[in-house]
A and B are shown apart, each in its own frame.
Chain A
Amino acid sequence: MLPELDRSLRRLLARAKTAAWLEACARLAAPAVFVLGGWVLLARFALGQSRTAAAWSLAAFALVPVAAWFVARRRFLTPEAAVAWLDRRSGGSGALLTHFVLDDERWAGPARDALASIERLPRIAAWRDFRTTALGALFVGAAFVLDRAIVPTPPATQVALNRIDAASADLIALQEVVELAPETAKELEARLERLRDEGDAAPLDASLEAVDRTQEELARNADEALAAAERARDALSSAGAAEDAQATVDGINAALRDLKEAGLAAKLPKSLLERLDPGSLQLPDGVKLSAQELAQLSDELAAALDARMERLAKAGLVGKAQLERFRELERFSDHVCDGECKRAGVCKGAGRANAAPGRGGVSRGRGDAELTWGDEAVGKSDEFTAKALDPATMLDPESTAIVGLAANAPTVDAQGESAGGANVEASGGQGVWRRRLAPHHRDAVQRFFSGPRRE
């Protein structure tokens, strides 16, 4: 055989062999890297393996080139096919084919000419076959870089976490206003922290139930604070209506006592605390204050109570209706200004004597008010502000799927979705019958029927 034909043939066969092997490598490597990436994710996040331990599984990739060699072997170019390729590439005269088979020196010239007409043998350009593999490699890299923190939280767990956050915010607001007993405050904080740590490890029903109980406890504390504030406000009103200074002092002291018992006295403004006895938080014995000073003290105390109740209302621990009722306490106090009020210059005329009697109904309003027979009472459903609640629980968390990630809790159509998180038909009674009410949904129903306490 012509040496140059032999050389070209060897070179072409070697390149074809390498190209076939690379092609098989690319074909096998693409699914392999995706499988390995999936395995790394599984090992790290489901089996709890470390990055190093998961990295050992990448050693399996070494099988790919070996398997590719065995796959490619069946498709290696034969010398006959390679000569045919060279012959066709040179114009297809058959000179190279004939020389390869018969090796006739007399016809070496045309074979040499045919070979010379081939300027360049084909080059290996198999790298583009590895594009999918490169994508897979990125996936493997991402599987290692990915941290558990950015693994999306299941929706059900996110609901519980949102509720725990809300309860924590309520606790902070309550502590800004009310001085809770240290053990109570500590216990509430610890409970919320424990719920947060348990995350999705604890049953969702139990977590939500515990959060609901905590919020009920906070609401009860807020209610107690509000009741104490109302009593104090009432006492302050009585003090304002008193005709002698001692009665006024007694009234203020009674209000301060109520506040102290409810834990509201400790966080009064500094200007007020300076005028009180530090230990008992009462007006000091034998203090002589003018009627104007007493009235000013009473007003400051009332303003401080207003600010606290507003803070509780802002946190949602006190309802708007309750706040309004608290603010109107002064108007409906026992102070009756008859126009010859001995507290002239102090009384703001907010009492009944100076104010128009307004309008009243059979069940409310001043006795001298003109009775009105329409619109005298606001219906319960009007007072109740509807608030969409998130799904209280997932009946079957395993069958849920992540539909998206958001920083906030998902928007829920309270009418169209059942409490259990499952869609039910809006029409017909079956949907209502089958609806399961979770604790905080039950609480909403209770709030509706238990009067104007909270919306």
Chain B
Amino acid sequence: MSQATALLSPTEVESARAKAQILLTGLDRTLLGQERLTRLVLVGCLARGHVLLEGLPGLGKTELVKALAALLGLSFKRLQFTPDLLPGDITGGPILEEDEHGKRKLVFHPGPVFCHVILADEINRASPKTQSALLEAMAERRVTVLGETHRLPEPFYVLATQNPIELEGTYPLPEAQLDRFLFKLEVPPVDRATLQAIITERRAGRSPEHERALSLEELRALFAAVDAIYLPPAVAAWIARLIEATHPSAATAPKLVKDFVRHGASPRAAIALAEASRAHALLAGKPNVGFDDVRAIAVSAVAHRLVLDYRARLEHVRGPDVVASVLAEVGELEDALPKGMKDAR
């Protein structure tokens, strides 16, 4: 997809923003007091990326994903990942069937992955072999079984959840798979006022019902609007410098990166940052990406892609800390003003 050379009209932008706002309002109705989280989930959805939600049980991760699927009116399946789950349980497989002529043949029966939205609940409980069954589906939106490739429906989202505290009997996601998630979002605990609202409005934990907010055509139009968002060269250059600075070998890498990062973010991270920034700009009603959009989503889009070394664990340095230091030290401008200029803000 090439860079747009003409801006969307204000009407187009406003129309797209209004549609996205409907989705956002619906998500906010489902998950109370988590506006930032819902906004980022919607950004991930508009950027057609997969999202990994990490949080303690009971925070509403599953409800959020179900609400998103309902609002989009897309097919939705929930996969509960367990240690005995097999790849075939996800992708489906050939079954021997007999036709009306009595002839037997292997017929491919699609697995639950063949839908628009998959909730991969507690994804880290499945074995690495099963986890890797999702690799092709997530990256290329297709499934290959016994040499036969099957395309997945468009759009296709994997919204996975994982629990950060129950580590026994879990298999941490490999870096290759983490890299395929556009965002890794931490679901924070809610405050007291939100809790009060939840216990008042959600009797027996029932979430509000959602009706389809957008048709598939409208959704595709929304995606087209995201694609038409303009990314100025200066912002693209900043994204490139940010990603470069996550590598410890880079001259511009901050001290935190040099000390604690073993491998920096991949080019896929730069792409994700740019695409997610476009979606974020559209949600803000802008025809272009700005530095503020990149800054708003950088931690969620990049932190989980960094491979930290053992010292980071000892020093309690986490990916978001590293990205925050990169954002602080890599300025938006490649050519700074001369030292002799005093910026009186």
Interface residues of A (CB under 8 A from B): 15-16, 19-20, 22-23, 26, 75, 77-78, 80-81, 83-85, 87-89, 91-95, 97-98, 101-102, 104, 106-107, 110, 119-120, 122-126, 129
Known: A16-B337, A20-B338, A107-B10. A84 touches B230 (CB 8 A): no
B292 with A81: CB separation less than 8 A = no
B341 with A125: CB separation less than 8 A = yes
Known: A123-B342, A129-B340. A83 touches B10 (CB 8 A): no
By beta carbon, the residue of chain A nearest B295 is A92
Neighbour of B7 across the interface among A22, A87, A104, CB < 8 A? A104
Question: How many angstroms from the CA of A20 to the CA of B337 in the assembled complex?
Answer: 8
Tell me the chain B residues, 268-311 only, with Cβ under 8 Å from chain A. 281, 286-293, 295
**How many residues on the B side are at the interface (Cβ–Cβ under 8 A)?**
33
By beta carbon, the residue of chain B nearest A103 is B7
Question: How many angstroms from the CA of A16 to the CA of B341 in the assembled complex?
Answer: 7
B338 with A16: CB separation less than 8 A = yes
Interface flag for B205 (CB, 8 Å): no
B235 with A94: CB separation less than 8 A = yes
Selected A-B contacts with CB under 8 Å, 27 pairs: A16-B337, A19-B337, A19-B338, A19-B340, A75-B335, A77-B337, A77-B338, A87-B290, A88-B333, A91-B292, A93-B290, A94-B293, A95-B286, A95-B288, A97-B235, A101-B233, A102-B5, A102-B6, A102-B230, A104-B7, A107-B287, A122-B337, A122-B342, A123-B341, A123-B344, A124-B341, A125-B341
A84 with B341: CB separation less than 8 A = no
Query: For B5, B293, B335, which residue has the most chain A Cβ atoms within 10 angstroms?
Result: B335
By beta carbon, the residue of chain A nearest B13 is A107
Residues of A within 8 A of B335 (CB): 75, 77-78, 81
By beta carbon, the residue of chain A nearest B332 is A88
Residues of A within 8 A of B341 (CB): 15-16, 19, 122-126
By beta carbon, the residue of chain B nearest A84 is B234
By beta carbon, the residue of chain A nearest B284 is A93
Closest 4 CB pairs of A and B: A126-B340, A94-B290, A92-B291, A97-B232
By beta carbon, the residue of chain B nearest A98 is B288
Interface residues of B (CB under 8 A from A): 5-7, 9-10, 230, 232-235, 281, 286-293, 295, 332-335, 337-345
Given contacts A84-B234, A97-B234, 14 further A-B contacts (CB under 8 A): A19-B340, A23-B340, A81-B334, A91-B292, A92-B290, A94-B235, A94-B293, A97-B290, A98-B230, A106-B7, A106-B9, A123-B341, A124-B340, A125-B340
Question: How many angstroms from the CA of A426 to the CA of B333 in the assembled complex?
Answer: 70
By beta carbon, the residue of chain B nearest A128 is B340
By beta carbon, the residue of chain B nearest A25 is B340
B288 with A83: CB separation less than 8 A = no
Known: A23-B338, A94-B289, A106-B10. A101 touches B232 (CB 8 A): yes
By beta carbon, the residue of chain A nearest B4 is A102
Residues of B within 8 A of A85 (CB): 333, 337
Known: A97-B235, A124-B340. A84 touches B290 (CB 8 A): no
B338 with A94: CB separation less than 8 A = no
Neighbour of B332 across the interface among A16, A84, A120, A126, CB < 8 A? A84
Question: How many angstroms from the CA of A95 to the CA of B235 in the assembled complex?
Answer: 11
Question: How many angstroms from the CA of A75 to the CA of B333 in the assembled complex?
Answer: 14
Residues of B within 8 A of A97 (CB): 232-235, 288, 290
A22 with B290: CB separation less than 8 A = no
Residues of A within 8 A of B293 (CB): 94
Question: How many angstroms from the CA of A81 to the CA of B339 in the assembled complex?
Answer: 15
Question: How many angstroms from the CA of A92 to the CA of B232 in the assembled complex?
Answer: 11
Question: How many angstroms from the CA of A98 to the CA of B287 in the assembled complex?
Answer: 9
How close is A117's CB to chain B, nearest CB, in angstroms? 11
By beta carbon, the residue of chain A nearest B288 is A98
Question: How many angstroms from the CA of A97 to the CA of B237 in the assembled complex?
Answer: 13
Question: How many angstroms from the CA of A373 to the CA of B9 in the assembled complex?
Answer: 132
A93 with B338: CB separation less than 8 A = no
Question: How many angstroms from the CA of A20 to the CA of B338 in the assembled complex?
Answer: 5
How close is B10's CB to chain A, nearest CB, in angstroms? 6
A92 with B7: CB separation less than 8 A = no
By beta carbon, the residue of chain A nearest B10 is A106
Residues of A within 8 A of B233 (CB): 80, 97, 101
Residues of A within 8 A of B287 (CB): 98, 104, 107
Residues of B within 8 A of A26 (CB): 340
Residues of A within 8 A of B295 (CB): 92
Neighbour of A81 across the interface among B7, B232, B281, B333, CB < 8 A? B333
Residues of B within 8 A of A83 (CB): 234
Neighbour of A87 across the interface among B230, B234, B334, B343, CB < 8 A? B234
Question: How many angstroms from the CA of A85 to the CA of B281 in the assembled complex?
Answer: 20
Query: For B286, B290, B344, which residue has the most chain A Cβ atoms within 10 angstroms?
Result: B290
How close is A223's CB to chain B, nearest CB, in angstroms? 78
B7 with A102: CB separation less than 8 A = yes
Question: How many angstroms from the CA of A324 to the CA of B333 in the assembled complex?
Answer: 95
B7 with A94: CB separation less than 8 A = no
Known: A20-B338, A102-B6. A122 touches B344 (CB 8 A): yes
Residues of A within 8 A of B286 (CB): 93-95, 110
How close is B78's CB to chain A, nearest CB, in angstroms? 39
How close is A121's CB to chain B, nearest CB, in angstroms? 9
Residues of A within 8 A of B290 (CB): 87, 91-95, 97
By beta carbon, the residue of chain A nearest B342 is A125
Residues of A within 8 A of B334 (CB): 81, 84
Query: For B6, B10, B281, which residue has the most chain A Cβ atoms within 10 angstroms?
Result: B10
Query: For B7, B289, B334, which residue has the most chain A Cβ atoms within 10 angstroms?
Result: B7
Question: How many angstroms from the CA of A124 to the CA of B338 in the assembled complex?
Answer: 9
Question: How many angstroms from the CA of A22 to the CA of B338 in the assembled complex?
Answer: 9
Known: A77-B335, A81-B334. A94 touches B232 (CB 8 A): yes
Question: How many angstroms from the CA of A26 to the CA of B339 in the assembled complex?
Answer: 11
